[in-house]
Amino acid sequence: MNKKVSLTTQNRLIVFGLILSTLLIMAIAVFSVLNIQKKLNEGYHNFGQVISKTLAIESNELTKNLPKNEIYNTLKKHTDTILKSHNDIVFIQFTDNEGKIIYSGQNESHKSAQKPNITVSSPLTDMISNSPIGSVTVGLSGNIISQISSTTRASLLFVFAVAWLVFAFVILINTYLITRELRILHDGVQKISSGNFGYKIEGENVSNEVQELFNSFNDMSSRLHLYEEQNIEQLTLERNKLEAVLMSIANGVVVCDNNDTVVLVNNHAQNLLEVEENQMLNTSIQNYIDTEGNFCFRDKIEEFKSSQNKYVTFNITVDKRIIKSIISPMYTRSGEYVGYIIVLIDVTRETEMDLMKSQFISNVSHELRTPVTVLRSYIDTLYTMGNEFDYETQKEFIGTLNNEIIRLQNMVNDILDFSRLDSDVELEKSYNDITLLVENCVNQISILAQEKHLTIEITREDNMPEISFNYDSIERALRNLLSNAIKYSPEGKKIYVRVYRGSENNIVVTVQDEGCGISAEHQKKIFDRFYRVENDTHTIKGTGLGLHLVKTAIEKHHGGKVFVNSKPGEGSTFGFTLPVKSTINI
C-alpha cells in the first residue's frame, strides 16, 4: 500500500528556495560564460589584427629595396619562421594590389584543417609613398581561445557549483538547526500533553530568540507541574472523601463504568454479596452469581441500558437474605454518561415484617372472628331460647360468653398496647416493690393455672429495694410471660417464678416452665413483632404481639433487658431485668 507523502509548508519553502537559488546561479553562470566568451573572442580577434599588422610592417621592412625575385624567398623564409613559432596561426598569405597571391604559407600542424576560425587582413603600405601595395592575411585556428574558453567555462562552472553547494549546505544546516530546535520544542509539548508536567527543555547552542522561547516553555511547565500537584492533591482529597463516604454508607454501593466493570465496592456491599474486594474490583458485575446460581444482575442491567439509563429496582437473594437493588445512572457535571451505581439494601427484615403483618392481619381477623361468632351464636341462642334452659345451662352459656369476651378484650388490649408502647410517649413511673407486683400477677392468673392443674412456685430474695417503673406496663409484661408459660405447659407441671438481685445493679424476674421448649433458630426472632412459632408443637393461636410488647416495655421504656433460655423438650425460661436506678431517656 503506497502512502501519500505530503510536504509541509516549511519543506515546500526550502525546496522552492533551493530551486530558485539553483536557477539563479545557473543563469548567472551562463551569462558570465557567454560574456567572457564574447570578450575572449574580441580579444582574440584583436590579437590576430595585431599579428597581421606586425607582419605587414615587418614584411615591408624586409622586402624594401629588394628585387622582385628575392621578395618571394624573403617572405617565405620569414613566414615559415613565424608559422613554426606560432601553432595557433594556420596560414599567412601575401597578395598584391591586384589580389594576386605573392606567397601563401601553411602551418604544417594545421594542414588537415579546412579553414581557420578567424581570418584577419592588414594592408601592405609603401614606406616612401605611403601607398598600398598589397595586403597580408593571417588565418588563426582559435585553439588557444577554445582552450581558454573551456578552462574559463569549467572554472566558472566549478566556482558556481561550489557556491551552489555551499549555499544549499548553509540552507540545509540552517534548516536542520531550526527543525532541531522545533523538534526539541515538539518533544517537550508531547511530554506536557502526555501529562509529564514539570519537564524542562535543555537548550544548548541555540539562538537568543529560541532560548527565550525555551525559557518560557520551562516556566509554563513548572507552573503546570505546581498546578498538577495542587490539583492532584485536591482530587486525591476529594476522592478519599468520596470513598470514605461510600465506605461509610450503611447500604451497599457498587460503582461500575460504562463497560460494566466494577471500579468501587464498599464494605457493606461486600458483606451483602458475600465477596471479597479483590473478587469484585475490575470484574464485570454481570458475571456475579447469587446463591441460586443465577446471573442476578445481567438481565436487569440490560433492561437498565435499554430503558435509556432510567432507574431500575429489583430484588436478589443471597444466602436467604433479600437484597433490594437499585441501578441508577452516573453522569459528570457536563452531563457525560460514565457508568452506573448499584445501591444494595438489605430488606430481609422488612420483607419478613410485611409477611408477618399479613399473617398478623390474618391471625387477628381469625382470632376476632372466632369470639365474635361464638358470642353472637350464644347470645342469639340465649335470646331466643333462654327460657327453655335450666339454671346450669344458662350459667354454662354465660361462662362461655365471659371467656370469649375476656379473650376478645385481651386481643384488643394487645393491639392498643402495641400502638401505645411503640410510640415515643414517655410512661409515667413511680417507685414500687417489684415482689408485690409479682405476687399480684401470680394471684390474678392462678385461675388459669388451676384449669390445667398447674402449680406456680415463687422464689424471692429478702430486702428487695423499691425501683422506679410504670406499674401497669410491667404488670402486663409479667402477666404475658405467665400466660405463655401456662399455655405451653403440659397439665400437672410446675411454673417457677424468681425475683432476685442481678450482678449489674439490677433486679431480675424470670418465669420458667416445663413445656416443649424453643429451638435456637426461633429464639433469635421470638421477641420480634408479629413473629409466632408455628409448628406441630406450637399450635396455639395469637396475635404475635405479646413478647414484642414485653420487649418494648422493658427495653424501650425502662432501660432493661429481656432474655430467653430454652432447649427443645426441656422447657423455657423467659425473663427481664430492670435497673435499680432507671435513667432511660425516651
pLDDT of residue 526: 81
CB of 156 within 8 A of CB of 32? yes
CB of 510 within 8 A of CB of 503? no
**Distance (Å, whole) CA 362 – CA 312:** 32
pLDDT of residue 367: 60
Whether the pLDDT of residue 538 is over 50: the answer is no
Which stretch, 115-129, 157-171, 412-426, 535-549, has highest mean pLDDT? 157-171
pLDDT of residue 583: 44
**Distance (Å, whole) CA 165 – CA 153:** 18
Pick the residue with more confidence: 194 or 573?
573
User: 9-148 with 249-345: one CATH topology?
Assistant: yes
pLDDT in tens, 483-532: 889 888 888 899 999 999 988 788 999 999 988 888 877 777 787 765 56
**Domain 352-416 carries which CATH code?**
1.10.287.130
Q: At 537, is the pLDDT very low, low, confident or very high (cuts 50, 70, 90)?
A: very low
Which CATH number fits the domain 9-148, given the four candidates 1.10.3300.10, 3.40.50.620, 1.10.3720.10, 3.30.450.20? 3.30.450.20
426-579 carries CATH number 3.40.50.11260: no
pLDDT above 90 covers what percent of the chain?
7
pLDDT of residue 266: 86
CB of 296 within 8 A of CB of 370? no
- Hey, is 500 helix, strand or coil? strand
Provide the 8-state DSSP code for 387.
G
Query: Which element (helix H / strand E) includes 510?
Result: strand 506-512
Q: At 5, is the pLDDT very low, low, confident or very high (cuts 50, 70, 90)?
A: very low
Q: At what angle do helices 208-248 and 143-193 cross, to 10 degrees?
A: 20
Instruction: Tell me which residue has cell 501519500.
Output: 4
Q: Taking residues 377-383, what's their average pLDDT?
A: 80
CB of 569 within 8 A of CB of 434? no
pLDDT of residue 499: 94
Q: In this structure, which amino acid lies at residue 388?
A: E
Three state DSSP letters for 414-428: HHHHHHHHCCCCCCC
CB of 488 within 8 A of CB of 515? yes
**Distance (Å, whole) CA 404 – CA 412:** 12
Which stretch, 21-30, 64-73, 361-370, 466-475, has highest mean pLDDT? 466-475
Whether the pLDDT of residue 66 is over 50: the answer is yes
Whether the pLDDT of residue 78 is over 70: the answer is yes
DSSP bridge partners of 103: 94
The domain locations on the chain are 9-148, 197-239, 249-345, 352-416, 426-579
Q: CA torsion, points 61, 64, 66, 68, in degrees to nearest 10?
A: 100
**Distance (Å, whole) CA 141 – CA 44:** 11
Whether the pLDDT of residue 172 is over 80: the answer is no
Q: Taking residues 381-390, what's their average pLDDT?
A: 79
pLDDT of residue 576: 94
Among 194-203, 215-224, 379-388, 439-448, the least confident range: 194-203
pLDDT of residue 2: 45
Query: Which element (helix H / strand E) includes 106?
Result: strand 101-106
Q: At 575, is the pLDDT very low, low, confident or very high (cuts 50, 70, 90)?
A: very high
- Give the mean pLDDT of the chain: 78
Q: Taking residues 293-300, what's their average pLDDT?
A: 86
- Listing from the earlier edge strand, what are the strands of the sheet with 337-346? 262-265, 252-257, 337-346, 321-331, 312-318
- Nearest alpha carbon to residue 547 among 500, 498, 478: 478
Which stretch, 146-160, 255-269, 390-404, has highest mean pLDDT? 255-269
Whether the pLDDT of residue 449 is over 70: the answer is yes
Which CATH number fits the domain 249-345, given the four candidates 2.30.110.10, 1.10.3470.10, 3.30.450.20, 3.30.565.10? 3.30.450.20
Instruction: Give residues with Cβ within 8 angstroms of 569, minimum separation 6.
Output: 516, 517
Q: At 416, is the pLDDT very low, low, confident or very high (cuts 50, 70, 90)?
A: low
